[in-house]
Amino acid sequence: MPGKPVVILGVFVADTAYRASRQPRMGETILGTSFTLGPGGKGSNQAVAAGRLGADVTFLTRLGVDPFADMARQTWAQAGVRSAVIDTPQSYTGAAYIFVEEATGNNAIIVSPGAAMLISPDDIAANAGLIRSAGVFVTQLEQPIEAALRALEIAREAGVTTILNPAPAASLPERIYTLCDYVTPNETEAEELTGIKVSSLDDARRAAESLLGKGVGAVIITLGEKGALLHTASRSDHVPVVNAGPVVETTGAGDAFNGGLAAALARGMEPLQAVRFACAVAGISVTRPGTAPSMPTLQEVEALLAKG
């Protein structure tokens, strides 16, 4: 069963991914080993992840009127994601440059959101009914913060469970924290928000405690190969990584985690169970190349978790 509806506000971009032994230095040209073009954008990836897990999910965004927008709609249709798109012919559908290090699968990314940077509080107000209808609302920071803030306000007023994935790392207005049932930074983003460098589990707990002090309901810090930390006012639980095989590419792992978390909470899972489920989603995603194409199905995740 899909559970309560999930609504995700965010950005679609076309991922242009380049593999090479290393990044070029400024002014240098090097030969790569491969190139792929595919769907991406944090919000879109999260929506695809949730959709492939069987969630009832709608994605809210702006797109240009161009071939990359056609790619977006096809991607969502294949994943079972409904879309609430504001067509924006005066701009372009976003794109991202992704460098993938051949030996490790680690990545570096530049995102140009295009039309999605025009998402405004007025756009959010026009879609307030959609947001209020959700059981879980998710947003990130690739679209303007003012739009994310207004959407979180509407969701909170309606009693919707709210998740802020504070990516990419950015300074946030203090009033946004009290609107968040969950905040899900990685180590770098947690340091940006708190000033605490996260190099260990104890560091993660200190950073999470700082975020609780700002008014967040619960903090989930993703720790890469170390799993994730769920930290609330009453408990602090380290959830180990769920290993699904050799790592091929880490690009979509955070989005897989957040989409999995939203789907799990929408299905009524308790927070700790939902974090373990999300770790399994991310664990499978990193064994595959790409971002949206790497997202697993519910059956794959349940089979992995069944192995213990």
Residues involved in catalysis:
255
Count of all residues that appear for the chain in the document: 308
Q: Which DSSP letter does residue 26 get?
A: T
Whether 62 contacts 269, CB under 8 Å: no
Q: Tell me: is residue 142 an annotated ligand-binding position.
A: yes
Q: Tell me: is residue 162 an annotated ligand-binding position.
A: no
> Residue 18, exposed/middle/buried by CB under 10 A (0-12, 13-18, 19+)?
middle
> Residue 136, exposed/middle/buried by CB under 10 A (0-12, 13-18, 19+)?
buried
Q: Tell me: is residue 139 an annotated ligand-binding position.
A: no
Q: Tell me: is residue 169 an annotated ligand-binding position.
A: no
Packed helices 271-285 and 298-306: angle between N→C axes, nearest 10 degrees: 110
Half-sphere exposure of 58 (CA within 13 A, CB side): 17
Whether 9 contacts 125, CB under 8 Å: no
DSSP string, 253-298: HHHHHHHHHHHHHHTT--HHHHHHHHHHHHHHHTTSSSSGGGPPPH
CA distance 90 to 114: 10
Q: Tell me: is residue 285 an annotated ligand-binding position.
A: yes
Q: Tell me: is residue 290 an annotated ligand-binding position.
A: yes
Q: Tell me: is residue 3 an annotated ligand-binding position.
A: no
Q: Which DSSP letter does residue 186 get?
A: B
Q: Tell me: is residue 259 an annotated ligand-binding position.
A: no
Q: Tell me: is residue 43 an annotated ligand-binding position.
A: yes
Q: Tell me: is residue 70 an annotated ligand-binding position.
A: no
CA-nearest of 22, 130, 14 to 64 is 14
Q: Tell me: is residue 123 an annotated ligand-binding position.
A: no
CA distance 54 to 45: 14
Q: Tell me: is residue 42 an annotated ligand-binding position.
A: yes
Q: Tell me: is residue 32 an annotated ligand-binding position.
A: no
Q: Tell me: is residue 307 an annotated ligand-binding position.
A: no
CA distance 247 to 267: 28
Which residues contribute to the annotated binding site for ATP?
Answer: 186, 222-227, 254-255
Which residues contribute to the annotated binding site?
Answer: 13-15, 41-45, 142, 186, 222-227, 251, 254-255, 285, 288, 290, 294
Which residues contribute to the annotated binding site for substrate?
Answer: 13-15, 41-45, 142, 255
Which residues contribute to the annotated binding site for K(+)?
Answer: 251, 285, 288, 290, 294
